Homo-oligomer: A and B are copies of this chain.
Amino acid sequence: MKDIRYEDTITELERELRHLCTVIKQKGREILTNFEITPPQFQALQYLINEENLTIGELSNKMYLACSTITDLVDRMEKNELVKRVRDEKDRRVVRIYVLEKGHEIINEVLDARRHYLDDLLQDLHSDEKKAILKSVEMIYSRTV
């Protein structure tokens, strides 16, 4: 792979994206300190809301973490009344994780704080410029899925 020459745009884009993701990750962690959830809990809640009622095994695959780690994570979230385990009605051997109202509320508040941060950050830009940025980010993200 050593001999491949990338155009400068890709080299710069890789660096800018890597740094941007690091900053967003740190800002995200800072925001979470105001809420009673941890970064892995925030990530788990997003998956559980977007993909609806995953099992421990499914969540483990999504998060690239061992089932035992996810079990501990879900235990703490259940204790904190963010989620609850419910037996699948169609197959009683399967246990699914449901997000409780408090879980939904916290996620909404965290996302709101993140939007607030981004809104502040880009407040000097015109609406068209923000739309151009959105289009760019979509162009990358859409190619990854």
Q: How many copies does the complex hold?
A: 2
Interface residues on A, range: 35 or more
Main SS of the interface on chain A?
A: helix
Q: Considering only CB atoms, which chain B residue lies closest to A6 in the complex?
A: B115
Whether A9 contacts B127 by the Cβ 8 Å rule is yes
Whether A113 contacts B1 by the Cβ 8 Å rule is yes
Whether A16 contacts B138 by the Cβ 8 Å rule is yes
A137, chain B: closest CB distance, angstroms? 5
> Which chain A residues in 101-145 approach chain B with CB under 8 Å?
109, 111-116, 118-119, 121-122, 125, 127, 129-141, 143-145
A91 interface residue (CB < 8 Å to B): no
| Alpha-carbon distance between A144 and B122 when the two chains are bound, in angstroms | 10
List A residues at the B interface (Cβ < 8 Å): 1-2, 4, 6-7, 9-14, 16-27, 29, 43, 64, 109, 111-116, 118-119, 121-122, 125, 127, 129-141, 143-145
